[in-house]
Every structure is written in C-alpha cells, then in structure tokens.
Structure 1
Amino acid sequence: MAASHQSLGQVEQFNCNPKEGMPWLLLPISQRIQDFSANRSTTLIQQSTTPPLGPASPLILGTVPYQVGAPLLEGLDAHPGVELRQQVPTQLIRSLRAGELEGALVSSIEAFRRPGLLALNHLGIACDGEVASVRLFCRKAPQDVKSLALDDSSATSVALTRVLLKKRYGARIMEESRIPPTLQPDSIDADAVLMIGDFGVAAQSNRPFILDLGEEWARWKNLPFVFALWLFRCPEPRVREASEILMDCRMKAKQRATSDGTGGRICHDLDPRFLAGLEEFHNEAASLGLCEASIQPVWVGPPR
C-alpha cells in the first residue's frame, strides 16, 4: 500500500484505504492482516527528527495496530497535540525503553519489569472472561503440552501463556520457539501455538483444545485480566496532559460506538477489580521469574 509522506504528527497513508479514505482499523480483518504482515515492523509516522520536548511540543505516543485498541484511540491520530506512532506491543516496549516515546499503550507486564514508569489506572485493554483475540491452539491437553510456539508480539500474552500452562495446568515446557503471526496454527509443529490480536481472532484450527486465555484466567482466578496499559516515561505533568487527551478520545469512542472487533468482549475502562486482577498476575508472573515482585509503577488517576 502506498505511503504518503506528510507533515510531522500526521499518520501515513498506510492507516487508510487509499480509495475511500477509510481508517485502517475499520477495514475488514483480512485486509488488516494482509497490511500488517507486509508492514509488521513499520513505524506508521513519517518524521525527520524528534522534536525537542517543551511546553508546546507534541506528546509522542505509541499505540498497537490491532482493532482491540480502537475504542481508546478515537481521534487521537488527528489531535494537534500528539505525534502518534503504531507498532506491535513488543516493539512499543523497545521504543519506550529507548526514550523514543513518552508514553505507549503497551503490554501490562512491562509495568513490573522497569522501575520508574507512570501508568494510567483507568484506561487499558482488558477482559472479564473471554477475550477472543488471545488464543492458544493445542494438539494435546494443556497439562501434556511440552513444546510451545509463541507469537511474541505481546509480552503479556507470552507471560500469561507460561503462567497458565505451568501453574494452572502443571505442564512441563521443554521447548519454546518464536513464530510470525499466522492464520494457520495447525501448520506449526508444536504442541501449543499462541496467536494474538487480529490473527488470534481470525486464525482457523482443527486442534482439539483451543484455549481463550482471558477465559482461562477468569476460571482460575475469578478476576479480570489486563493485557495492556498506558505507560509513560516523562514528567507527571505531561502524563496528566496525556490523560486528558486520552479520556477525550475514550468519550468520543463511546459516543460513536467504536468497535473493538471482538463483539464487545474487550473492556477499556479499568476499575479496582481490574487492578486486583493485574496485581494477581504480577504475583504469579513474578513467582516464575517473568517480572520483578518489588517493582510497581506510579499510578496516575483520571482527570478531575
């Protein structure tokens, strides 16, 4: 798909249907998957230099290229105070760590891996039961899984897979491999194959055990699960500025009934029960050495 080099802070043409100007997240899943496969590592903002930070500088934010995040992003690409970039979750983590982003909608486990991060406690990508977009395709019963193939686009989904297999089912994983996203998990020679995002929704499989990881977590813990949070590496006033903008985007999405592509299974407004589920995941992941038990972000509440 042709790219259009635009001014700083504007999204490239990759985000739109070139014939109709349709936002990329509203295209059919099959078209988004085709575009995403061809552009998996592409940053969707064309920029020549990173602008100096200051009172008038735009917020440099990163988001995921999945429709599950659309109800958090309504109008964000057009906001004059934001320079927006889209990357897969694991690349967002690298960009945030490198200081290339001030904030990002990123895998929640990152909040417990790096000290000094600030996190919004009221917006995220979560579920309270079935999630539909994060699925594990198993050719054996979960307790018998020994080889695991991971789409590692999401650090949280990879960690949740390990937690569920090892701690819920007692599986002994002997072999792990990384794979690119695919719609045909049965073609992968592994006992279990993890797919996430639009690929997780659309993948087809005849394997006898297909686990929805949100549903598995809820059955085990009777708690919701938080897959992604807005995390920041910038001064708190900048975070509060971002919070106001992001809350405005969330309100617009509610007014316009923006779809998440999962039939409404995704929750985007967090409350104390979601944060309790997140802390339980923190504890379970830390017990396997997947994050640090002692690390917590600085939580920032909604605008008053």
Structure 2
Amino acid sequence: MPETALRMGRISYLNVLPIYHPLEAGILPHDYELVAGPPALLNDMMGRGELHVSSCSCFEYARRPGRYYLVEDLSIGSRGPVMSVLLLSRVPVEELDGREILISGESHTSVALLRLLMRDRYGLRVTYRTGQVSPALRSATPPVAFLAIGDEALRLRNHPGYPHRVDLAEAWRDWTGLPFIFGLWVVSREAADRGLFHDDPGELLRRGRDWGLAHMDVVLDLTGHGCPLSREELAFYYREGLVYSLGGEELRGLHLFYEKLATAGIIAAVPPLRFFSL
C-alpha cells in the first residue's frame, strides 16, 4: 500500500451519517479512502494496521491503548435514550436471572455495557450466546432476550414478541448520571509516528460533524428512505438521542466505564487517554 494512501474507517450505521456525508459527497475535499463496516470489523482492521484512522469502539481503545491516539472532541454517544442499542426481552428484565441472552458480534462496547448492567446494575446472573439476531428471531427457538444494535435495533425496537425493552444508554445514565460513549475516533500510533499525516484527520472529521449538524434537513432527506423511523423520530435521534462531542462530561462517563470494566476484570486496567497532535 503506498504511504500516501491513507484509509479511514466509517461505521456502516445511520448514526454517523452527519459526520461522513460531507466527506462522501465531496462537500469537504480530502485524500482518504473511506472503508465502511460494522464496529467490530473496523476494530479488527485498525488492530491489524489496515486502517490509519477510524471510528472505533471505546472497548477496543481500552484493550489496546498503546496502538492508538484519540481524536479530540469527537465521539458517538448518548446523554439519555440512544434508541439504537437495546435489550429486548419476552419477560421483564428481573426474570432473566439464569436465562440466556443472544448478543450481536458487531459491537464489543455494547456487549461489555450489557454485561456490566446485568451484573452490577440489576444483580442478575445470565449467560450469553453470540449470533445473528434477525435469523434467530425467525428460527423455531427464538431467544428469550437479545441485544440489538445500530440500524437493526431501530428496526426491531417495537417487536411485538419482545415487549420489555431496556435502552442501554438510558440505563447507564440512570445508574451513573453521566453520558455513555459507545465509540471514539482513533489514529494509528504507528502511522502517526511514521509521519504519514500531514493534516489533522480530527479537524476534517469535526468539520464534517459540524456541517452535518448544521444541515440536518439534508441528513434527514438521505436517511428517510426505507428507514423504520419517521422524520420526526429521526430528527430526535440525531439531535437528542446522540452526542458527537467529547467534552468534560463525556470524558467523565468514559473514564467511569473504564473503571467499572477494570473492576469487573473485563479489561486489564483503566487506559490513559492520549490524544493525537501533529
């Protein structure tokens, strides 16, 4: 791969469209090759050095902080109901003790948050099975409960067979009083140390975010076709359900999540937060 061919990962969910549409549409010129995929795939690609900068689960950063620098003031998170990370269940949550939950393999952070909530927030002992949600729901033995994320969660959130719903970001906020950060943007430390970046990719991404949020009608027009949400619900999702900044309160929520993961033995230690600079 030529050293000038910088590759940028893009989560293939609606929630990042306000950031990436200006880059994909040529509104903000850039030299990056954009590579789309679910969070877990982008995590693996960053880990293998196949991407130079990417949206990344905060769990991936905690697992391998020595490989990355964080992009300043950019995240994908929520200060309340996020609507697209849901536990859906046939029975009330308190009746899940001793039961199995089907989890998606697409998001490491959402699964880690679910494990913390079940263990420490609700005091439940549950088991987990990784699999594809939609095929499982059509099978002869559908799960008693499942974790849905991204566009799939938006589509299944009102499933009649699963009337009990926990919005994981809302549950975290009720538990801690802080926002929950699902995703961060990271820069490959190796690429940065080799001097491959002549401009700050974070500046480009923040400009994309600011353009997208300032032109929400354009974003809504793009996402409305075939989306399970109404235009009003989409507007609420982008403006109220999601947070795209990484300010003081978001950093406190992120640090607390890392502390709880370390206490539970899910990660080895609370990672230091190191940010990219030229």
What is the CA deviation profile of residues 15-64 of structure 1, one whole-angstrom value per residue up to 9, with x for unaligned ones? xxxxxxxxxxxxxxxxxxxxxxxxxxxxxxxxxxx3x22xxx14211011
* Separation (CA, whole Å) in 2 of partners of 1:74 and 1:95: 22
Q: Structure 2: which amino acid aligns with 1:272? A: G
Match of 1:290 among 266, 270, 277: 266
What is the CA deviation profile of residues 86-144 of structure 1, one whole-angstrom value per residue up to 9, with x for unaligned ones? 01100101100110001110111111100321111311111000000010012233233
1:202 Cα shift?
1.0
* Separation (CA, whole Å) in 2 of partners of 1:93 and 1:293: 19
Match of 2:153 among 184, 194, 200: 200
Superposition map of 1:18-97 within 5 A = 50=1, 52-53=2-3, 57-77=4-24, 78=26, 79-97=29-47
Report which of the two has the higher share of helix: 2
Q: 1:69 to 1:263 in 2, by over 3 A?
A: closer
Q: Which residue of 1 aligns with 2:75?
A: 124
Q: Which residue of 2 aligns with 1:158?
A: 111
Question: Which of 99-108 and 70-79 deviates more?
Answer: 70-79
Q: Which residue of 1 aligns with 2:130?
A: 178
Question: Which of 213-222 and 201-210 deviates more?
Answer: 201-210
* Separation (CA, whole Å) in 2 of partners of 1:247 and 1:63: 14
**TM-score normalised over the length of structure 1:** 0.75
SS of equivalent residue, structure 2 residue 106: coil
Q: Which residue of 1 aligns with 2:53?
A: 103
Q: Which of the pair has the greater relative contact order for Cα pairs under 8 Å at 6+ separation?
A: 2
Where structure 2 has 5 or more consecutive residues not aligned to the other structure, the ranges are 224-233
Number of positions where the alignment pairs a residue of Structure 1 with one of Structure 2? 248
Q: 1:168 to 1:140 in 2, by over 3 A?
A: same
CA contact 2:84–2:154 (8 Å) conserved in 1? yes
Work out whether 1:270 is the aligned partner of 2:223: no
CA contact 2:10–2:35 (8 Å) conserved in 1? yes
* Separation (CA, whole Å) in 1 of partners of 2:251 and 2:166: 23
Superposition map of 1:221-260 within 5 A = 221-233=176-188, 234-235=191-192, 238=197, 241-257=200-216, 258-259=219-220
Q: Structure 2: which amino acid aligns with 1:135? A: L
* Separation (CA, whole Å) in 1 of partners of 2:198 and 2:45: 17
SS of equivalent residue, structure 1 residue 229: strand
CA contact 2:102–2:129 (8 Å) conserved in 1? yes
Q: Which residue of 1 aligns with 2:62?
A: 112
Q: Structure 1: which amino acid aligns with 2:245? A: D
Q: 1:247 to 1:58 in 2, by over 3 A?
A: farther
1:183 Cα shift?
8.6
CA RMSD, Structure 1 to Structure 2 (Å): 2.3
Where structure 1 has 5 or more consecutive residues not aligned to the other structure, the ranges are 1-49
CA contact 1:134–1:197 (8 Å) conserved in 2? yes
Q: Which residue of 2 aligns with 1:30?
A: none
Q: 1:240 to 1:273 in 2, by over 3 A?
A: farther
Q: Structure 2: which amino acid aligns with 1:144? A: E
Q: Structure 1: which amino acid aligns with 2:108? A: A
Q: 1:115 to 1:136 in 2, by over 3 A?
A: same
What is the CA deviation profile of residues 187-206 of structure 1, one whole-angstrom value per residue up to 9, with x for unaligned ones? 66333200000010110423
1:285 Cα shift?
1.6
Q: Which residue of 1 aligns with 2:94?
A: 143
* Separation (CA, whole Å) in 2 of partners of 1:62 and 1:158: 21
**TM-score normalised over the length of structure 2:** 0.82
* Separation (CA, whole Å) in 1 of partners of 2:103 and 2:199: 35
CA contact 2:78–2:179 (8 Å) conserved in 1? yes
* Separation (CA, whole Å) in 2 of partners of 1:240 and 1:289: 38
CA contact 1:90–1:152 (8 Å) conserved in 2? yes
* Separation (CA, whole Å) in 2 of partners of 1:64 and 1:281: 22
SS of equivalent residue, structure 1 residue 73: helix
